[in-house]
Amino acid sequence: MTAFDAIGIASNGLTVHRKWLDAVSDNIANVNTVKSMDDTAFQARYVEVQEGAGTSGVFVKADRYGSEAGRVTYLPDHPLADAEGYVRMPDIDLGAQMADLIMAQRGYQANAAVVDRAKTAYEAALQIGRG
């Protein structure tokens, strides 16, 4: 591992956490999306991560999606309700999404701090070389 690998690894971590934040924010934004029984529910998006080879860090392997069936809810006054009063809503646990949001934010912050500290160390090394 070279000294410059720290920025590359942290950069991959930043990308993964940004994509995780995007997925979680989409899920939270659509937690109350209502669809008719003839349509599919909003599918929650989940990010699958895999370690890279050697010192390359991590990367997003795939996006996974939740259930199309969603959760059937009784809302008889909703305009999209069927004759029996049912609609489809996404099967998203808001509490779990909020916990994921906090973890993704903290991971992003940690990787950004690594980039900042590595940059400072590299600048100090350049100053030593000049002096």
pTM of the predicted structure, to 2 decimals: 0.85
- Which tokens hold the place of 40? 């599919």
CB atoms closer than 10 angstroms to residue 90: 22
Quote the number of domains for the chain: 1
Q: Which domain holds residue 47?
A: 5-130
Q: Which residue has the tokens 């991959």?
A: 12
| Among the listed residues 121, 107, 127, the one whose alpha carbon sits nearest the alpha carbon of residue 6 | 121
What are the pLDDT digits (tens) for 24-65? Answer: 999 999 999 999 999 999 999 999 999 988 777 899 999 999
What are the pLDDT digits (tens) for 58-89? Answer: 999 999 999 999 999 999 999 999 999 999 99
